[in-house]
Amino acid sequence: MIISHLIYDTSSLLACSLTCYSWYIASVSRLHYALTTRPDSWSYVPKAGWPTPLQNAAKFGLLPLVKKFRVHAPKYCCDRFSSERFNSRTLSQFSALTNIQELRLDNMDIPSFMPEVSQYFGHFLPTVRSLALGSPGGSHRQIIFFIGMFKHLEDLTLFNDEVEPWQSEPANDPTLVPPFAPPLRGRLVVSHLKREGLLKDMIELFGGIRFRYMNVSDVGETRLLLDACAGTLETLQLDLTDPRGEQLYPKRVLSPANDLSDS
């Protein structure tokens, strides 16, 4: 009970872990619940750059305790998280993350992992329930195929997904079909999604989506999402500053008589 009150207080958890063996057992899982690394070769905190956090945790056998793993990249980071960052040693350590429930990957270069993508991410499939992709690289089919690998996926986040003018989007391969249709009945967060057709293709290939909670901002296919989840949606969060808001809020809804000030 004491430890449960300190799960967000790292310094106190560290102190508790040094008290006695039983307190160590109670606190160590919370101390190593989340693991974050960065794909960029330069970093303000060198020890946070890939693959140092992975190696340090592996050294002490702590990787099976990690339940939330994130490859974090700043919005305008040009470095991609690709298969080139793996060798036999780092792949072995990466595969020791066997209890991940929340997975977030920024700037992931999905084509670089194809077609052996299960060799890198197959150990995540039984446990991952929440997936976030920030600025993923690849065609619509490749992105959807990757999402479709996680057969128990409940929550999905997609953000900052756009192809820059100097980039060319890979051509879609119609033979690339996702291996599973995940449940997708938890929370959907989508923001700044510039690729038209990605969500439409995902809904068609998965045979529909059933999210209960939705947070949408600056997404051209918002109306499509609302229609697809009309039978299951319980909570919807929309931003009135959304640049695409005119598609969602008729002028009669935004009249002074209506109090829709924030979201």
List, for residues 224-238, the tens digit of each pLDDT value.
999 999 999 999 998
pTM for this one? 0.83
- Token pair recorded at residue 132: 């976030």
169: pLDDT confidence band, cut at 50, 70 and 90?
A: low
Mean pLDDT of the chain: 85
Per-residue model confidence as pLDDT tens digits over 101-160: 999 999 999 999 999 999 999 999 999 999 999 999 999 999 999 999 999 999 999 988
The C-alpha R_g of the chain, in whole angstroms, comes to: 20
Widest pairwise Cα distance in the chain: 64
Angle in degrees, CA 162, 142, 220, rounded to 5: 35
